[in-house]
Amino acid sequence: MPSKTVVIIGGSYSGIGVAKALLKSSPGVKIVIIDPSDRFYFNIAAPRILAKPEAFSPDKYLYPITTIFRGASKDSFEFVQNTVSQIDTSSKVVTTSNGIIGYDYLVIASGSSSQSTKGDGVFAPFKPTGVDSRAFQVQIKAAQDTVAAAESIIIGGAGPLGVEIAGELSDTSNHKNITVIASSSRILPMLKEGPSSTAEKLLAKKNVNIVKGASVIGASQNGTKWIVKLSTGKEMTADAYIATTGVVPNSSFIPSEYLVNGWVNVDPHLRVATPGNLSQRPQGVYAVGDITIHSPRTLIKANEQVPVVAANIKADIDGGPKLKTYNAAAGSIMMAVPVGENAGTGQAFGWTIWGKLVSMMKGKDFMISRAPGMIGISS
């Protein structure tokens, strides 16, 4: 029988990462992952999935969670396909529609949702949507059909996702008019001027329009058209509007005393804690990835948090001191941004990444060929 049970809410990159690490480092521990979908979504490829439906079959970006853990015994791993409605940290139980699940340690890895899944513009499959895999594939197909039928598209946001989608859409012949709305004076504002300028030139070559210094303050559908209102007072019309700015936390089931604007407050060890009083913590509860207060909410940052949570849960189980802390400010920006299949830009350790390298690293297939290895599926 397992000595301790670790319940992980969310089959995300970070949730799966913690589960994999604990199965390796703490034999005898029982891992339970709870998620509404039985499939893991490799959403790194979302821009190409949306713009080019024929690029990948669904089995290349939707992986059964049980397959990811096929090497684990039934005593050490269990997957529960369900939605969590409540957690009780005093009783140490998680409530789902099928009953309650007890835990010794709890990891909240429920992530975030994109604005497009909350009704802001055309639905776009940037992240999981809290439905089962069959329903999710229907959602993806509907989004692909909507985008394919649109001759004019406005993209709200000029960060990596907005730039990548613009690049992908501009490669397809049916999109005659693509516009990117940038709230700052340049696109990719989190990067240095060099890669930012490169991305702008690449989009210009693809005839993508860029509106700078304006934010989208409202978007509504009027018949078959979208009316997009900008902070400058200007209104724009298009067949489709895609929002790429901002995410919202998946935290409806989490007690409000642990939240800051919907995000989970954590101490330096990534233990859930009351805002303003980090010493006031529920016993054995951690949070990791997008759901925490820490930004930027990128895969690289989530991957930095995974070993911290895994090591500290192991230390708890073994009765030792906390070994790891997470420094959200540590590290430099590492980002590769394809602009279509054969070009791109990026930044790593303060250096601009050569466009051909971005194309080889990511633009070629949006890392789909490396997906099994990245999520730990053994051959």
Segment (H or E) for 316: helix 299-318
pLDDT in tens, 306-321: 999 999 999 999 988 8
Q: How far apart are CA 169 and CA 30, in angstroms?
A: 45
Q: Is the pLDDT of residue 172 over 90?
A: no
Distances in whole angstroms, Cα of residue 266 to Cα of each of 135, 274, 301, 326? 33, 8, 15, 10
The pLDDT of residue 1: 47
d(Cα 50, Cα 164) in Å, to the nearest integer?
Answer: 11
- DSSP-derived letter for residue 286 is E
* Residue 321 confidence (pLDDT): 80
**Half-sphere exposure of residue 299: CA atoms within 13 angstroms, side-chain side:** 14
- Average pLDDT on 235-262 reads 95
Radius of gyration of the chain (CA): 21
- As a whole-number percent, the residues of the chain with pLDDT over 90 amount to 84
pLDDT at 118: 66
Cis ω before 189 (30° cut-off from 0):
no
* Structure tokens that stand for 27 in this block: 């034999």
| Helices H / strands E in the chain, number of each | 9, 24
Distances in Å between the Cα of 236 and the Cα atoms of 130, 139, 209, 216 are 32, 26, 12, 10
3-state secondary structure 178-205: EEEEECCCCCCCCCCHHHHHHHHHHHHH
pLDDT tens per residue, range 99-116: 999 999 999 999 999 877
Residue 379 reports pLDDT greater than 60 = no
The whole-number pLDDT of residue 246 equals: 83
Residues 326-346 have pLDDT tens digits of 998 876 788 999 999 999 999
pLDDT band at 262 (very low <50, low <70, confident <90, very high): very high
Going along the chain from its start, the domains and CATH numbers come out as 4-113+248-318 (3.50.50.60)
Closest Cα to residue 147, out of 139, 159, 157? Answer: 139
Chain-centre distance for alpha carbon 55: 21
* DSSP, residue by residue, 132-193: -HHHHHHHHHHHHHHHHH-SEEEEE--SHHHHHHHHHHHTSTT--EEEEEESSSSSSTTS-H
d(CA 199, CA 354): 12
Q: What are phi and psi of 304, to 5 degrees?
A: -70, -30
* Average pLDDT taken over every residue of the chain: 93
Predicted pLDDT at 328 = 85
Residue 120 has pLDDT above 80, yes or no: no
Distance CA 371, CA 13 (A): 11
Q: CB atoms < 10 A from the CB of 32, how many?
A: 19
> Which residue in this structure is represented by tokens 């990811």?
68
Q: Is 301 helix (H, G, I), strand (E, B) or coil?
A: helix
By the 8 A CB rule, do 243 and 157 touch?
yes
Read off the amino acid at residue 353. I
The pLDDT of residue 173 is 66
CA nearest neighbour of 214 among 180, 246, 191: 180
Element (H, E) at 242: strand 240-243
- Per-residue pLDDT, 20: 96
Partners of 210 in beta bridges? 180
**In sequence order, what are the residues at sequence separation of 6 or more whose Cβ sits closer than 8 angstroms to the Cβ of residue 171?**
51, 52, 206, 340, 341
Least confident segment among 8-12, 134-138, 330-334, 365-369: 330-334
Distance CA 47, CA 222 (A): 26
| Alpha carbons 372 and 367: distance in angstroms, whole number | 10
Q: Which two tokens stand for residue 31?
A: 């891992």
Looking at residue 85, its amino acid is S
